[in-house]
Amino acid sequence: MNADSSPAPHRVASDSFAGRGALVVGGTTGIGRATVLALAARGARVCFAGLGADEGREVVTEARKQGARDIEFLEIDVRHETEMRKLFEQAIAQLGRIDIAINNAGTETRLVPVQETTEEEFYRVIDINLKGVWLGLKYEIPHMLANGGGAIVNTSSTAGVTGIANIALYTATKHAIVGLTRAVALEVAKSRIRVNAIAPGPVQTGLLSRMVAGKVPIDAIAAQVPMGRISAPEEIAEAILWLASDAASYVTGHTLLADGGLTAQ
Q: Tens digit of pLDDT for each residue in 205-259?
A: 878 888 777 788 889 999 999 999 999 999 999 999 999 999 999 999 999 999 9
Q: What is the pTM of this model?
A: 0.92
Asked if residue 181 belongs to a domain, the reply is yes
pLDDT at site 113: 97
- β-strand pairing of 71-75 with 100-103: unpaired
Q: Which of 123, 139, 170, 250 is catalytic?
A: 170
Half-sphere exposure of 38 (CA within 13 A, CB side): 22
Asked if residue 152 belongs to a domain, the reply is yes
The question of whether 250 is a catalytic residue gets the answer: no
Asked if residue 38 belongs to a domain, the reply is yes
Asked if residue 11 belongs to a domain, the reply is no
Give the CATH number for residue 190.
Answer: 3.40.50.720
Positions of the chain with pLDDT under 50? 1-14
- Work out the angle between the directed axes of helices 30-41 and 53-65 (0-180°, nearest 10): 30
Structural domain boundaries enclosing 254? 21-264
In the chain, how many domains are there?
1
CA distances from 57 to 13, 29, 53, 60, 207 (A): 32, 11, 6, 5, 20
Asked if residue 16 belongs to a domain, the reply is no
Asked if residue 13 belongs to a domain, the reply is no
Asked if residue 74 belongs to a domain, the reply is yes
Asked if residue 90 belongs to a domain, the reply is yes
